[in-house]
A and B are shown apart, each in its own frame.
Chain A
Amino acid sequence: MIVELGHFALIVALCLTLAQAFFGLGGAATRRPHWIAVTRRAVAGQFVMTACAFASLAYAFYSNDFSVLYVAQNSNSQLPTFYRFAAVWGAHEGSLLLWLLVLSLWTVAVTAFSRNQPEIMISRVLGVLGVISVGFALFILLTSSPFERLWPAAQDGRDLNPLLQDPALAIHPPILYTGYVGFSVAFAFAVAAMLEGKLESVWARWVRPWATMAWLFLTIGIALGSWWAYYELGWGGWWFWDSVENASFMPWLIGTALIHSLAVTEKRGLFKSWTLLLSISAFSLSMLGTFMVRSGIIESVHAFASDPSRGLFILIFMGICVGTALALYAWRAPNFRSNVGFAVVSRESFLLMNNVLLVAATALILLGTLYPVFLDALKLDKISVGAPWFAATFLIPILPMVFLMVPGMHAEWKHASFGRTRNALLAVAGAAVVLSLLLALGVYKWHSVLTLVGFIAAFAVGLSALIEPVTRLRNGHSLSASVVGMSVAHFGLAVFILGVTTVESYHLETDLSLRPGSSAQLGAYQLKMNSLRSIAGPNYDAVESEVAITRDGKEVAVLHPQKRTYRVQTNPMTEAGIDAGWGRDLFVAMGDPLGDGSWSMRLQYKPLVRFIWLGALIIALGGGISVTDRRYRQRAAAEAPAKAAAESI
């Protein structure tokens, strides 16, 4: 009964999103205040209804209601309670419901934080968000309802996929979706501005916090996914250039370009149409990601659904949204010309280069990801593009971008002379080279020129990011949240680059066979297998080995890697044993029994691998700090009183 109520709530939510779309766009077009007022009510209503639908599904999981098909497919009475909630988004149908819920949360946030912005603009934004909600609600109801009953009810469920029974992965989809869906707000603002035909600098100030928040969540979501793949897929890599990883990385890159381009639009009134295009692209790539993941056109960890009608629906819906937005862009872009100039060396040109290079990197990844799909669809050839290609070509645009950041952070607007920061920058460059040589020759052994370049990039960016906060604090000036946020995020990137360079250059990896009592050498470490034993978990059985690690005779760690077999889905699963540390991870994974009491084992040494995720978290923290800047909370009306007064009704 509860589930039927949930289904009904979702239908009501669809009706309310239709109202939201109609009254939002119509109210703004016809300037009817009461229509605009209805839009806000519809937003509240559709949020409550979507939340009810989601709650009813969660309750079905909690109460082990195996008469619901989706629950029977993705849960089990033995599944721990926490994972029963995570199982709600453990497969296609539920994860789409989560998508819709997150979208309505963003919509509610827009209504809550836009009190000071022109009514007409916000009404349009809500209308566009309504259109997107209609599309996804229809998608769920027509092709992927999680509320279908199974008759007769199953005795017990087929259990949640063992790979997903993990805390990091339980929160990875909601956070990633919050990022993906968050770009819909920037998209809606862009469409609203194009419908309006006007774009003031203050528009960029309204959009910046939204774009930054979406980008922040996407950063954390991707980092969580990478961390999970590292320890749970069992093989110790942190990025595989898998299609679905690329699908989340492309909107991130474009999102990064967008938040930088918005800075120029806000401060200087430039790059207006470019910013609009990036807003459209970021969301389009989020939709493309959803399409690729959900349609099953790409083989991947995440490709749950292989129902072609679902893929087709998303493709058509994406075509409508993006096509309309681009048509509108083609029509209105000429309105957004700006005639302000800037010198060849200026903050504007550095940010332009940042944008060009980020877009180039995205284009390369898009090419590598979609080219095999096109060839396959056209029945020409079956190919795959290897990770080495992505790794090599990605650096072509990204390395110059990273080095341009070093002076770019300190370039003045209009015409950069670096008068104030020239000496500090030279000192940073010198220090970066010295520190990198020390690290590449002293701490580690010489590896390659690229390693040295990576270290120099990391130190130069990291130190350069500190110049501004340090000099301002020393001179007793106050620091705005924007400056702190930018510095922190750029410092996080430096930490990330340091981690990537070190782990890619100096990691050790070996496959070998071990039996109780035998030992192996990995770099400076000795690993000895002490014992093997069988253990029973709540919903799995496992073989666990005890591996003691020593260095120069001193004990470093005792690890307990496992090979699990989950009782319902019977797939074997590798639980790696990891000794985590700031300086290095030691990673031991069990392969399979080799017959004579020994097991195949994979041993890995991963120096500074934690810096990769730490860096990503610092980057996200920087974004979080910058959205707290005071100017985002100032009344728009105070900035442009006449305009706002004319527009609001």
Chain B
Amino acid sequence: MTARQRRMVLVGVVLLAVGGAVGFALKAFQDNLQYFYSPSDVSAGKAPADRLFRVGGMVTEGSFKRPSGSLEAHFVLTDYASNVTVSYTGVLPDLFREGQGVICRGKLGANGVFVAEEVLAKHDENYMPPDVAETLKKQHANNGAPAPVAGASSPTTGPTSGPTT
């Protein structure tokens, strides 16, 4: 082989390797996308049954239940049109409380309870996840539910996550 042919072979090998890597990455990418659904979507059965997704809403006042001394908590997420019951075992983020906007990542159980692997809340009392705010705005336009407090807040800080199991 001449030097030129060798170089062409090298370029070909590199292209194949890069192409393979990109193909693999895109495939993995498709499998790892997590879609966001509102409680209304979940109630309407739009959410997938067998894969991870995220659901966001406000924690309904008075819905938070946790047996004394236990780590397993139940609460209801709402977008003021539909509700989803969430169960989560573990340490909740610092700013989790009733009346707050949160995002949960997990899977839908057979009994319709959303089993969260992770609960995200923001470090600001006026914070509402933009996703939630938008859903609420839509609901508001449709049937006059309470208007969102704020799309996002001024000096916000970040999501503290619960466990990443």
Q: Which residues on A are within 8 Å of B, measured CB to CB?
A: 73-74, 91, 161, 163-164, 233-235, 237, 240, 242, 296, 299-304, 306, 341, 343-344, 349, 353, 356, 360, 364, 367-368, 371, 381-389, 392-393, 396-397, 509, 511-513, 515, 570-574, 589, 591-592, 594-596, 598, 600-602
User: Which of B70, B151, B156 has the most CB atoms of chain A within a 10 A radius of its CB?
Assistant: B156
User: Which of B35, B71, B91 has the most CB atoms of chain A within a 10 A radius of its CB?
Assistant: B91
Taking CB atoms, residues of chain A closer than 8 Å to B158 are 163, 233, 242, 300-303
Is B63 in the interface zone, CB < 8 Å from A? no
Taking CB atoms, residues of chain B closer than 8 Å to A592 are 91-92
Taking CB atoms, residues of chain B closer than 8 Å to A385 are 29, 32-34
Q: Is the CB of A73 within 8 A of B68?
A: no
Is B98 in the interface zone, CB < 8 Å from A? no
Q: Is the CB of A360 within 8 A of B129?
A: no
Q: How far is the CA of A524 from the CA of B40 in the complex (A)?
A: 47
Taking CB atoms, residues of chain A closer than 8 Å to B14 are 353, 356
Binds A, one of B17-25, B76-84, B108-116, B138-146: B17-25
Q: How far is the CA of A74 from the CA of B155 in the complex (A)?
A: 9
Task: With both chains docked as a complex, state the minimum distance between the C-beta of B89 and any C-beta of chain A, in angstroms.
Answer: 7
Q: Which residue of A lies closest to B160 (CB)?
A: A233
Q: Is the CB of B34 within 8 A of A384?
A: yes
9 nearest A-B pairs in the assembled complex, by CB-CB distance: A301-B158, A591-B91, A389-B32, A382-B36, A511-B90, A596-B68, A595-B68, A572-B94, A306-B152
Q: How far is the CA of A595 from the CA of B14 in the complex (A)?
A: 61
Known: A299-B129, A571-B124. A383 touches B35 (CB 8 A): yes
Q: Interface of chain A, helix or strand or loop or mixed? A: mixed
> In chain B, residues 112-162, which have Cβ atoms closer than 8 Å to a Cβ of chain A?
123-125, 129-131, 151-161
Taking CB atoms, residues of chain A closer than 8 Å to B6 are 344
Q: Is the CB of B32 within 8 A of A356?
A: no
A-facing mask of B89-112, CB < 8 A → 1, else 0? Answer: 111101100000000000000000
Task: With both chains docked as a complex, state the minimum distance between the C-beta of B140 and any C-beta of chain A, in angstroms.
Answer: 18
Q: How far is the CA of A581 from the CA of B152 in the complex (A)?
A: 40
From A344, A364, A574, A601, B94 is in contact (CB under 8 Å) with A574
Q: Which residue of A lies closest to B150 (CB)?
A: A306
Taking CB atoms, residues of chain A closer than 8 Å to B66 are 594-595
Is B69 in the interface zone, CB < 8 Å from A? yes
Q: Is the CB of B29 within 8 A of A304?
A: no
Q: How far is the CA of A71 from the CA of B107 in the complex (A)?
A: 44
Is B44 in the interface zone, CB < 8 Å from A? no
Q: Which residue of A lies closest to B21 (CB)?
A: A396
Q: Is the CB of A382 within 8 A of B131?
A: yes
Q: Is the CB of B71 within 8 A of A594?
A: yes
Q: Is the CB of B18 within 8 A of A571?
A: no
